[in-house]
Amino acid sequence: MQTAGDQDWLTSRLKRHLGELIRLAMPVIGSRAGILVLMTVDLAYLGRAGADQTAFYSLGSSPFVILMVIGIGLMMGTMVTVSHAFGEGQYKECGAIWRRSLPWALLCGLGLTLLLLPVEDFFLVTGQNPGLAKGAAGVTFMMSLSLAPTLIYVTSAFFLESLRRPLPVLFAIGFANVMNLVLNPLFVFGIGPIPEMGAEGAALATSIARTSMALFLVLYCWFLKDHQTFGIRKPLGFGWWRQFANQRRYGYATGLSHGFESLGFGVMHIYAGWLGVNSSATFGMGMNLTALVFMVALGLANATSVRVGIAHGRRDLPDRELAGWVGVGVTFAFMTVFTAVLVMEPEWVALTYTNEPTLVAMLTACVVIVGYVVICDGTQIVLSHAIRAAADPWTPTVLNFAAYFVVQIPLGYALAIHMGRGVVGLFEAMLIGSVVSCAILGIRWMMLNRKEIRLSRAAIVNPPAAE
């Protein structure tokens, strides 16, 4: 039976979690959404340059985004371990984690970039039109120039956000978007000595912008006023790889999980290419819209991860559970607002991407389904981050594999190709995959907390005998 004291405890902590989550999440949402706004600006310009350029960009950005998302997952250990150390008051360890994360980000970025080199052959092997494959490969190359800088930016952002300092991250992405807004028309349409580059020019502008935001954040971290408190400038040391083992463990699990999800969407891009140029362009714009809204959820997920991680570091299990559910509830509320806009005004949203009547009609039908996708997709990413912040890195990986590989990929082929529902069928498969992911991750979060709280109470009632 719940007492008045229990209710006061719950109310007090609920208010605290809501306040801290919103305070941390707002700038984080801006910074995460800003990453995708870069590509949204690219698509908005290319939507006026023709369906072929939009199709080149849509297909060419797909392998880059897949590897970028995997790389972001590989950096996730920085956020989890810094939030744990910060919760335990181990401030010097926070700085050490960031220092170790920089060479890790560089290694991951360069390694993933190498995987993009034979991308044109990959497009051809997967049955894409040779002209589409060649144009898309040029876009992928231009984007690949910024993969390592992007991961350096991400790991530095995770470090600052775990210290509850998200505003510099927001400033960096804001500056990058202004730069991209200026460079895009110059490279896409050409001016003076700058040739018209179309989709490749849009990708180049975005790569330059991403590199600038990485440089800004690294310098900001280095010149922190309290850099001595966190030991920012201490030497890295030869044992950094061994000391980095715990961070890598979280990174491997999250990177693989992100890989399953993004590969599931990447296969959908291949299906869209089979359906033709218009379908490929439409799917690319629809996916950008999905990812843009998803970045809002990702910002809330990262903020939730910090809140859960700090409570876990204090060994406060009831508070940890509450932090996770608050994150889920706030995310659901945010996503519902986006859903209402997308479902009620799909044509208006479509017109922000393109003014070609055929593409507008196709995209309008897809935007309605995207409206429902974002609720479940946003909720599942928050649950995944909460579970990992509670020191369970691998379960979300297994569950995401089931949702996106076992359910979404074959269903996408069945609906879009076999049943002839076209690009709309691809988004319908994404909706079903996201519903499955959300449901099974929610069950896992409940089971994890109930089990650990029960074991914790048993240990208090029956402490182990002294040896």
Name the residue with higher pLDDT: 47 or 178.
178
SS3 of 23-62: HHHHHHHHHHHHHHHHHHHHHHHHCCCCHHHHHHHHHHHH
Going by pLDDT thresholds of 50, 70 and 90, the confidence category of residue 33 is: confident
Specify the DSSP element, H or E, that contains 449: helix 422-461
For residue 208, report the phi and psi dihedrals to the nearest 5 degrees: -65, -40
With 70 as the cut, is the pLDDT of residue 322 above it? yes
Reply yes or no on whether the pLDDT at 444 is more than 90: yes
* Cβ proximity of 149 and 210 under 8 Å: yes
CA–CA dist 381, 334 (Å, integer): 14
For residue range 52-85, list pLDDT tens digits in order. Answer: 888 888 888 888 988 888 888 888 888 878 887 8
Summarize pLDDT for 200-214 with one digit per residue, the tens: 999 999 999 999 999
Average pLDDT over residues 115-136: 89
pLDDT value at position 426?
Answer: 94
Instruction: Supply the mean pLDDT for the chain.
Output: 85
* Residues 346-394: tens digit of each pLDDT: 999 998 888 888 989 999 999 999 999 999 999 999 999 899 888 888 8
Q: What is the mean pLDDT of residues 184-197?
A: 84
Cβ density class 114-138: b for 16+ within 10 Å, e for less: eebeebbebbeebebbeebbebbbb
pLDDT on residue 466:
35
Phi, psi of 194 (to 5 degrees): -80, 120
- C-alpha 73/C-alpha 389 separation (Å) is 13
Residue whose C-alpha is closest to residue 293's, from 361, 341, 359, 354: 341
Output 244-250 pairs: Cβ under 8 A, ≥24 positions apart.
244/100, 244/101, 244/104, 246/77, 246/81, 247/77, 247/78, 247/80, 247/81, 247/97, 247/100, 247/101, 247/104, 248/77, 248/104, 249/77, 249/393, 250/76, 250/77, 250/80, 250/81, 250/388, 250/393
What pLDDT score was predicted for residue 58? 82
Q: Does residue 245 carry a pLDDT above 80?
A: no
What was the pLDDT predicted at 162? 84
Percent above pLDDT 70 for the chain: 93
Tell me the residue type at 151: L
Mean pLDDT of 180-196: 85
> What pLDDT is attached to residue 457?
54
Report which DSSP code applies to 78: H
The per-residue pLDDT for 7 is: 65
Given a cut of 90, whether residue 139 has pLDDT beyond it is yes
